[in-house]
Amino acid sequence: MRRTFPLKAFPAIAAATAALALSVPAQAQVTRVQKNPDSLILDGADVKAGTDLFYLSGQLASPIDPTKTFADVKSIEDLGDTKTQTISTLNRIKEILAGRGYAMSDIIKLTLFVAADPKLGHMDFAGANAGFKEFFKTAENPNTVARSTFQVAALAGPYFLIEIEAIAAKKK
C-alpha cells in the first residue's frame, strides 16, 4: 500500500528525521588492512564516516643543533643522514599532532619524499625505514600506516633528504 502525505507534512517529517539522526552518535571507525602482519606498512586503511581527519603538510627535519635555524644550515651534517632526518621529521610530526590532540598511533597514511644522499648517490630507503621503525610497530605504538615513498630530484633546500606528509584519523 502506498502512503501519501500532504505537502505541508514534509517539514515536520524532515525535522523528525534530522532529530533522530542527531540523537544517534556517529560510530567512527578506522580499520587497518594488513595481509602480512610482519610487514612494515599497511596495505591500506578504511576510514568510516564520523571520523576526525587531520591532514598534515609535508614536514622537514630540524637542524641537529637546536640553537641553529634553517638559515644556519650549510651542509648535510647540519641535518644528518636520511635516518637522522627521518627521526627528526617524525618527531616534528609527533609534536604537531600532539598539539591537535592526536598521537602517532592515529596516523593512517604517510607519504615520504626522499632525495638522493650525495654520499650514496641514491636515496637511502634503508635509512628512511630505520627511522620509521623507531615510531611504528613499537611497544609505544604497535600500529603502522599505509605509506608511499617517492624518490625526488630535490626538496626545499639542498641539504634536506626527506620530507614527510601525514594523515591522521581518530574517533570524534
Mind listing the pLDDT tens digit for each residue in 113-165? 999 999 999 999 999 999 999 999 999 999 999 999 999 999 999 999 999 99
Q: Given a cut of 90, is residue 171 above it in pLDDT?
A: no
pLDDT of residue 7: 52
How far is the C-alpha of 162 from the C-alpha of 60, rounded, in Å?
7
- pLDDT interval class at 22 (50, 70, 90): very low
Exposed e or buried b for every residue in 141-157, given b needs 16+ CB within 10 A? bebbbbbebeeeeebee
Mind listing the pLDDT tens digit for each residue in 30-76? 888 889 888 888 899 888 888 999 999 999 999 999 999 989 999 99
44 three-state secondary structure: strand
Mind listing the pLDDT tens digit for each residue in 90-114? 999 999 999 999 999 999 999 999 9
Q: Would residue 16 count as lying in a domain?
A: no
Q: Would residue 148 count as lying in a domain?
A: yes
- Smallest CA-to-CA distance from 107 within 151, 59, 152 is with 59
Per the structure, the count of domains in the chain is 1
Q: Would residue 2 count as lying in a domain?
A: no
Domain that residue 143 falls in: 26-171
Q: Would residue 15 count as lying in a domain?
A: no
How far does CA 80 lie from the centroid of its chain?
22
pLDDT of residue 17: 46
Q: Would residue 87 count as lying in a domain?
A: yes
pLDDT of residue 161: 98
Q: Would residue 67 count as lying in a domain?
A: yes
Q: Given a cut of 80, is residue 8 above it in pLDDT?
A: no
CATH number assigned to the domain comprising residue 69? 3.30.1330.40
Q: Would residue 11 count as lying in a domain?
A: no
Mean of pLDDT values over 12-25? 46
